[in-house]
């Protein structure tokens, strides 16, 4: 059993380690797969231990807090007892079960499947529009997921730019409190309010005139007489947008970056991009777009040799767990030919990513179309990493296609 120096833990996320935190994660994980780094604060980096935390119902989320009307932000959804309405990502059963079931009825694998031709068309046109030298993030990795999620939700074309801006501001504020920078908080709160107000109006329009989109499906969805309340609908829309946007951008960017650092550039994808699905899985494992998540102990419990008192917080280091030797041989290497194995990039258990089929589809199409349309792609400058930890990704990825 190890207790760890909190400074050593925080140093894992230091700015100078951002380009490659993995050797530091490795040392940390090998000396303490579970560590208590402060009173009732645990860091979990071993694959088995992280999987346990994500699967075991003893770990979950704190109950939504009551908010005094004076402290409420304009447009903040609260329930009839004045508690903050949270998206199901941070709710426990039975609320989580009920909401996830409702949303899954509207957001189906079939709906994702039907998007394939549109994603292919969009990807091809973004790549074809780019000059010989370009920034892969600006040209492809950023616009593709936001276009797809906006189209899926039925956001009018004219609003998409504002929409991307708000979503970016909110994604910046996803880091746990000990990693937060105060200057990201204010824009995130404003963006959340703008979003909720925007979706309130759009939902009202779709109620009057339903379309073929996910928003209309969510407005109309019911399960054994149960429906989404107005507040639930608004926070669900915001969740889908944030969860479905920057993460996929980073999967595409982290993947192309890993390929271009390798000896064979895009060749591992195959001449027709036929290996793209396998490469997507390896990128998810090797350089996870979501690096960490958090849980609270809902009762006194144990984790490995640790006693974990109720109310303790656990930071699950997904990015570190995915390089555990239990994921397969040579876990620190990027091996595009690796047989897909275990990883936690989409979480585990009841909160397993609802958008995983969509994320995999977008990344697969992006990699395949790059292999077909820009087979000679090479790095042409310095890659810059975003200053965030929970979401790991590049802000710029300069490339040349010769």
Task: Map residue 335 onto helix, strand or coil.
Answer: coil
Write down the least CB distance from residue 316 to ligand HEM, Å. Answer: 8
Cβ neighbours of 264 (radius 10 Å): 10
* Binding status of residue 228 toward ligand HEM by CB under 6 A: no
Q: At what angle do helices 246-261 and 160-171 cross, to 10 degrees?
A: 70
Q: Judging by DSSP bridges, how do beta strands 41-44 and 313-317 pair with one another? A: parallel
Task: Map residue 199 onto helix, strand or coil.
Answer: helix
Angle at 110 (CA atoms; ends 107, 111), nearest 5 degrees: 50
Write down the least CB distance from residue 89 to ligand HEM, Å. Answer: 4
The residue count for binding ligand HEM (CB under 6 A) is: 24
The piece of 33-41, 113-121, 303-311, 351-359 that touches ligand HEM (CB under 6 A) is: 351-359
Interface with ligand HEM (CB under 6 A), residue from 143, 289, 336, 393: 289
The piece of 69-77, 120-128, 247-255, 380-388 that touches ligand HEM (CB under 6 A) is: 247-255
* Binding status of residue 174 toward ligand HEM by CB under 6 A: no
* Binding status of residue 353 toward ligand HEM by CB under 6 A: yes
CA distance 78 to 86: 9
Interface with ligand HEM (CB under 6 A), residue from 306, 346, 367, 385: 346
* Binding status of residue 140 toward ligand HEM by CB under 6 A: no
Write down the least CB distance from residue 169 to ligand HEM, Å. Answer: 18
Write down the least CB distance from residue 99 to ligand HEM, Å. Answer: 8
Tokens standing for residue 246: 């920057």
Task: Map residue 141 onto helix, strand or coil.
Answer: helix
Tokens standing for residue 167: 């979503």
* Binding status of residue 367 toward ligand HEM by CB under 6 A: no
Dump the DSSP string for 212-258: SSHHHHHHH-EETTEE--HHHHHHHHHHHHHHTTHHHHHHHHHHHHH
* Binding status of residue 390 toward ligand HEM by CB under 6 A: no
List residues binding ligand HEM (CB under 6 A): 54, 88-89, 100, 149, 239-240, 243-244, 247-248, 251, 289-290, 293, 345-347, 351, 353-355, 358-359
């Amino acid at each position: 059993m190890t207790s760890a120096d909190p400074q050593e833990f925080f140093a894992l996320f230091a700015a100078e380690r951002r380009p490659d935190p993995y050797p530091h994660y490795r040392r940390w994980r090998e000396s303490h797969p579970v560590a208590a780094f402060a009173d009732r604060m645990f860091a979990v980096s071993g694959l088995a231990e992280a999987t346990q935390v994500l699967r075991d119902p003893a770990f979950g989320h704190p109950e939504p807090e009551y908010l005094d009307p004076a402290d409420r932000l304009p447009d903040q959804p609260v329930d009839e007892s004045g508690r903050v309405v949270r998206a199901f990502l941070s709710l426990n059963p039975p609320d989580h079960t009920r909401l996830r079931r409702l949303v899954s009825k509207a957001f189906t694998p079939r709906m994702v499947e039907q998007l394939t031709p549109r994603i292919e068309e969009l990807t091809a046109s973004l790549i074809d529009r780019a000059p010989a030298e370009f920034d892969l993030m600006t040209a492809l990795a950023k616009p593709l997921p936001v276009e797809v999620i906006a189209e899926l939700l039925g956001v009018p074309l004219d609003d998409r730019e504002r929409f991307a801006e708000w979503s970016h501001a909110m994604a910046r504020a996803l880091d746990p409190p000990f990693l937060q920078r105060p200057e990201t908080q204010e824009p995130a709160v404003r963006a959340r309010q703008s979003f909720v107000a925007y979706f309130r109006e759009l939902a009202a329009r779709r109620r009057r005139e339903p379309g073929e989109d996910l928003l209309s499906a969510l407005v109309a969805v019911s399960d054994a007489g149960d429906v989404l309340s107005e507040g639930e609908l608004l926070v669900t829309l915001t969740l889908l947008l944030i969860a479905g946007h920057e993460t996929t951008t980073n999967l595409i960017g982290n993947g192309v970056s890993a390929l271009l650092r390798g000896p064979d550039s895009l060749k591992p994808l195959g001449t027709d991009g036929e290996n793209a699905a396998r490469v997507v899985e390896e990128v998810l494992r090797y350089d996870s777009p979501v690096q960490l998540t958090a849980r609270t102990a809902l009762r006194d419990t144990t984790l490995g040799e640790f006693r974990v008192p109720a109310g303790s917080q656990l930071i699950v280091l997904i990015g570190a767990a995915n390089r555990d030797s239990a994921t397969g041989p040579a876990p620190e290497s990027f091996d595009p030919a690796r047989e897909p194995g275990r990883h936690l990039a989409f979480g585990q258990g009841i909160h397993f990513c609802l958008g995983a089929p969509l994320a995999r589809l977008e990344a697969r199409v992006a990699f395949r179309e790059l292999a077909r349309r820009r087979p000679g792609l090479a790095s042409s400058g310095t890659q810059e990493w975003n200053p965030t930890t929970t979401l790991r990704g590049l802000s710029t990825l300069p490339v040349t296609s010769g």
